[in-house]
Structure 1
Amino acid sequence: MTRSTRRSVIKAMALTPALPIAAQAHPAGPTRDAIAADLDRYVGFGNKASGGPGDTACGAWIEQQLKQAGAQTERQAFSVPFFSPRRTELVSGAARAAVLPLAIVMPTGGSGLTGKLVRVEPGLVPASGLSGALVMVELPYARWSSALARPVAETVRAVAAAGAAAVLLVTNGPTGEAIALNADGNKAMVDVPAAILAPRAAAPFRALAQAGEAATLFLEGDAGRREAFNIAGRWRRGGAGTLVVSTPRSGWTICAGERGPGLVTWLALARWAGAALPRHDLLFLCNSGHEYENLGSEHALDALAPLPERTALWLHLGANVAARDWHEPGAGRLLPLPSADPQRFLAVGADLLPLAKRVFAGLPGLEMAYPASAGAAGELSTILAAGHRRVAGIFGAHRYHHVEGDDARCVSPDFVAPVIAACKALILGATA
């Protein structure tokens, strides 16, 4: 299957009017306080880098919650890259800025890497003049997510092939912060150091590049691999196919808005489904390794998931299930809104389109369900690539996606509750 990006996914999708809301009420859900408590707990684990302390503690908590809900649980361990930084910055004279290393990290060593600063734009890499340079790649404004997106990957590889000593990606986006980028978990994109520079910190280095000045990049730290794990919770009934509900828990930052609402929705469904769906086998998957291009999801599909023909429904809860929306008055300044970000997509199997449009009616972004055959992003794309067709998945990117500012400000139980209710109605309708 062709890899899609969040920005390209709607190109082939046919827009059709949403159907009327169903006459019956959505199934009852958890209280506002219960949703808030789960959000607070997830946010409280801190940074969720795969295999790190926050991810590991969160996984143990999830495992406990599944057991309390009546599931039989198992862990699936696998290897992920890691980098523990000591010094990660770009320096030239008085100009100094922190950078994010691009995984898999190629350290510079303690003395750093010095070269002339040169600026390029995606698709406009010169044939000469980059040998030994620190090349700044000015990415256009977007809610960036992956280094494998074509404008990023093609430019980074072209710059490295032209002899650059290092690559610096300026991730222009809503917040002005450096946007961490998902990457291959098995091999580095290029064999030179690469890092991400925040747009709000880039101005002095743009001027230095214009003047032909040099800078030194420091990516100093400990690099290697460590163990991460997926969590599976099962209810075995030997019945009418398996309902699978999956969500990632890992990511580059606190991931409050990126992961929190999806994980809390997933938990609510796990606590509910055991009693609500007595005829079906249930499999609830919570994956690590997400930021390494869905590495955990691929392991889960290989060893934990049912065959497509045994799957009654696979519901995947990806990024931006119910994060806060913000006004953008400019200059990287954001003003919070009391509503969910509509830049979230709902993709479903063709036979589920009428049901999905009915039960998600009124939820901004999600009310326009699309056929999954037109494309998907994130872990839903790996599920589709494995042959599953009776699927439903939510994915997107809110304004603080993949940045350090993705904290408790980005979530509210009021945004999550209607998604829980709609997901329950979708599951009941799809498995009836």
Structure 2
Amino acid sequence: MKDRIADIIAEYDAQGIHRTGTDVDIASAAWLAERVEALGLEVKRDRFDFERVDLGVNRIETAGLAVDGVPLYDAAFTASDGVAGRLGPVGSDAEIGVALVSSRGGGEAHRRVDEAREAKGTHEALVLVTDTSFPPGGVAIINAERFTAPLGPPALQVPNDEWPALEAAMERGERARVTVDNRYVPAEGINIHGCVAGRNPDLAPVVVMTPRSGWWSCASERGGGIAVWLEILRDLAANQPERHVIFTANTGHELGHTGLDHFLAARSGLVQGAHMWVHLGANFVASQGGAPRLQYSDDDVRAAFSRCLEADVAEPFEAPAGTRPGGESRNIFDGGGRFVSIVGGNALFHHPDDTFPSAVDLDAAAGWAKVFVRATRAFAGG
């Protein structure tokens, strides 16, 4: 099992940058479909149209500095000549607000940025510098939760390499030009679905879901979920369960869960109609800062899942049952469904250094695969 998991994560990582609707994302969908078909299941390639961000010039320039970055995908964009003005902290009266932020979210800096995005006219542009807890040389990108309804002024995300120089320029109130010049182009997203038929089709199904897209190669963030998803599928394909088990791997995660939204919109009764949702979320195989966290819809689910936890994994943190979870299981929570979900911490969250093998704990991946195989069997009556 451990070797199979390593192969899956290595292949996924090697494919490149997994942003939704890009050539890599489309090729990765075909790869995953082939992996499912090799296990004897029929695959549905569920396609949907959306507007993808086609990147142009994304840069901040001062008198002595030019730094390229990545746009905030759910904010406005500039024209080709950008926005010029004074640099100052987010929340000040400067035309260009600057903040040091983490892709993990939370904290005072994110609160100030959110307020600036909500308040019209506070800043003409934002510069969001990757927190210095991340390695230099890359942007730890913030998810575009409002992708379908962009909010706030143009925002540029930049690596922390030049933070000392930017901070000094900001403190002096220097002028800068921020260009976030991108366009939307028609694109296609692809979700991958399969189903292991159960012995009793009258019973409510189990759904096993994992996201399959992200900002970079996402070895530990996304690769672990995909590998464990395939291990569960492999087991149930060889051991027919009592209930149907639906498998879905959805694109669009980093863009406000657009792929999952598409999946759910086409199946209006499934959130509450499913017997159980099993969510394989982000980072639970990360080798750095990867403390796994289990999330449950209710105490009954927690008790059932706990019976499947054995010595295969270190004792995880458990969020209080019934609290709104992180990750895509929140869509199930909001719809009133029953679920178990695993997510985790990651020192390289949304950073380009999240690559195989250094960012991945294969022992943890294999351990959690065994746990979730047992749990899904139990939920499905296998």
Q: TM-score, normalised by structure 2?
A: 0.89
Q: Which residue of 2 aligns with 1:11?
A: none
Cα offsets for 1:205-263 (capped at 9, x unmatched): 21112112101112234433421121111233415321210000001111111101111
Cα offsets for 1:263-308 (capped at 9, x unmatched): 1100111111123233211210000010111111111112147635
176, 185, 191: which one aligns with 1:215 = 176
Matched, 1:167 2:126: yes
CA RMSD of aligned residues (A): 2.5
Q: Which residue of 2 aligns with 1:379?
A: 328
Aligned CA distance change for structure 1 residues 395 and 355 (closer, same or farther; 3 Å): same
Q: Which residue of 1 aligns with 2:165?
A: 204
Cα offsets for 1:168-221 (capped at 9, x unmatched): 12342521443211112212112x311113233222121112112101112234
Aligned CA distance change for structure 1 residues 87 and 217 (closer, same or farther; 3 Å): same
Aligned CA distance change for structure 1 residues 308 and 222 (closer, same or farther; 3 Å): closer
Contact 1:145 1:179 in 2 (8 A): no
Contact 1:169 1:195 in 2 (8 A): yes
Q: Which residue of 1 aligns with 2:104?
A: 144
Cα separation, 1, equivalents of 2:313 and 2:110:
28
Cα offsets for 1:334-354 (capped at 9, x unmatched): xxxxxxx21x21112321323
Aligned counterparts, 1:17-166, within 5 A:
30=1, 32-104=2-74, 106-120=76-90, 125-126=91-92, 129-130=93-94, 133-139=95-101, 142=102, 144-145=104-105, 151=111, 154-158=114-118, 161-166=120-125
Give the fraction of aligned pairs with identical amino acids, expressed as a percent.
25
* Equivalences, count: 373
Tell me the CA shift for residue 163 of structure 1.
4.0
Aligned CA distance change for structure 1 residues 366 and 74 (closer, same or farther; 3 Å): farther
Q: Which structure 1 residue ranges, 5 or more long, are not aligned?
A: 1-29, 327-340
Local SS of the residue matching 1:320: coil
Q: Which residue of 2 aligns with 1:189?
A: 151
Contact 1:69 1:271 in 2 (8 A): yes
Cα offsets for 1:93-145 (capped at 9, x unmatched): 2212222200135333333321111113xxxx24xx33xx1111334xx5525
Aligned CA distance change for structure 1 residues 182 and 260 (closer, same or farther; 3 Å): same
Cα separation, 1, equivalents of 2:365 and 2:115:
38
Matched, 1:394 2:331: no
Q: Which residue of 1 aligns with 2:187?
A: 226
Q: Which structure 2 residue ranges, 5 or more long, are not aligned?
A: none
Q: Which residue of 1 aligns with 2:265?
A: 302
Matched, 1:283 2:246: yes
Local SS of the residue matching 2:330: helix
Q: Which residue of 2 aligns with 1:311?
A: 274
329, 339, 346: which one aligns with 2:294 = 346
351, 355, 377: which one aligns with 1:407 = 355
Q: Write the letter of the residue equivalent to 2:224.
A: P
Q: Which residue of 2 aligns with 1:323?
A: 286
Cα offsets for 1:302-357 (capped at 9, x unmatched): 2147635542321010101211126xxxxxxxxxxxxxx21x21112321323433
Aligned CA distance change for structure 1 residues 235 and 313 (closer, same or farther; 3 Å): same
